[in-house]
């Protein structure tokens, strides 16, 4: 519990410093935002989205098929625990 509280205090302190302490003319978070909005970073983001799109579609399809299999009623066929005692 003490470790958790200490972790929260450290994270809160870093967040406060990142938002308020100036590093030159900007805070840390303002620097990150400025870097994130550069054309190079936007190109990187687009490339990652394009590369990951097939994997995302595959995961979405797998989740939909799995959900459909769980929610359809097959009259107990193949479900665990539905076998009659011998």
Domain tally, the chain: 1
85, part of any domain = no
Which pLDDT band holds residue 68 (cuts at 50, 70, 90)? very high
26, part of any domain = yes
Handedness of CA 62, 66, 72, 74 (dihedral sign): positive
pLDDT of residue 75: 54
pLDDT of residue 9: 97
55, part of any domain = yes
Tell me the pTM: 0.56
83, part of any domain = no
CA nearest neighbour of 20 among 11, 30, 35: 30
3, part of any domain = no
Which pLDDT band holds residue 72 (cuts at 50, 70, 90)? confident
- Over residues 13-57, the pLDDT tens digits come to 999 999 999 999 999 999 999 999 999 999 999 999 999 999 999
Handedness of CA 17, 19, 20, 21 (dihedral sign): positive
Q: Indicate the length of the chain as a whole number.
A: 86
Structural domain boundaries, residue 35: 15-69
61, part of any domain = yes
23, part of any domain = yes
């Amino acid at each position: 519990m003490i470790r958790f509280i200490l972790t929260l205090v450290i994270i809160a302190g870093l967040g406060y410093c990142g938002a308020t302490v100036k590093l030159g003319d900007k805070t840390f978070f303002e620097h990150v935002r400025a870097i994130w909005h550069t054309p190079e970073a936007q190109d990187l983001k687009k490339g990652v989205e394009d590369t990951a799109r097939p994997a995302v579609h595959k995961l979405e399809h797998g989740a939909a098929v799995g959900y459909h299999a769980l929610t359809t009623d097959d009259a107990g066929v193949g479900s665990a625990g539905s076998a009659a005692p011998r």
